[in-house]
Structure 1
């Protein structure tokens, strides 16, 4: 059986991680924060 797990930490600064069947873990972040002059809508 092959298992792959994908996790998200949602919010303005989103974190993610994925663990493949071989045990390697890859992770990263994405920043969705608006700048001072951008609309929040």
Structure 2
């Protein structure tokens, strides 16, 4: 199984930061589906 997540660290509106919640969403999203469905913060 392959799961992909996009990341864009360069936006003009605000500085994007990779958070612990973002890492958990990417890593565990395929295992725990409720994390995958949670909106990005």
Into which bin does the TM-score normalised by the smaller protein fall? Answer: under 0.3
> Which structure is richer in relative contact order (CA contacts within 8 A, separation 6 or more)?
1
- Higher strand content, 1 or 2: 1
- Higher helix content, 1 or 2: 2
TM-score, normalised with respect to structure 2: 0.24
Which of the two has higher C-alpha Rg? 1
